[in-house]
Amino acid sequence: MLELGYTFKNAALLTQAFTHKSYTFEQKLGDGASNERLEFLGDAVLELCISDLLFTLHPKLPEGKLTEKRASLVCEACLAQLARGLNLGAYLRMGNGEEQTGGREKGSLLSDALEAVLGAVYLDGGYDAAQALITRLFMPLAKKATLQRDNKTALQEILQKKSGTTAKYVLLDQSGPSHARTFVSQVTHEGRVLGKGTGHSKKEAEQNAAEAALKGGLV
């Protein structure tokens, strides 16, 4: 895969990273064959590498600003943008249902796939290989003086200033087949409902709930 700039010793890891659960469902391969476990690992590797990168790049920034920058870099929108730049959508293995509903362009699937790829690189080449790839991908964004905040971070900052307490996100509902789930999340603060959101992933639903809270003027 030339776009990635990394050569796998174990190509099976990369194949799994591109395998959406809708494909394993239709092919009856079992949940363990999908990219979800690699996504879990890649998410943790990404957060550590981005923290390391920002800590070195911005030696005078306080913790709060570093946290804000990290959140803007690891959010779904940013990951999906990078995944599109790498043309990851063309390599995804997905079920017919996802294919027919534009799965190759869905931000949630693309961001999850990128995290899975990072998890696969970590397993295949170790931390140094993952760090090198993440640094190359994220350095242009990390160097920017200002980064677009995600909705959850923006909401959190407002609530922290007003009350010093955090928002809570609750999954209200999930429906649809395993390969095409729809999630509904609700954000509350000190017992008060601020907003609700729907998405094709829990992350997307929470982001949309935070956006509803910000737009609704309840904070």
Gap between the Cα atoms of 213 and 19, Å rounded: 34
Cα 111 to Cα 34, 67, 188, 203, distances in angstroms:
15, 20, 26, 10
Q: Nearest CA to 120 among 47, 200, 46, 214?
A: 46
Annotated catalytic residues are 43, 115
The token duo for 193 is 């409902």
Please state, in angstroms and rounded to a whole number, the distance separating the CA atoms of residues 16 and 52: 27
Rounded CA-CA distance 146/196 in Å is: 28
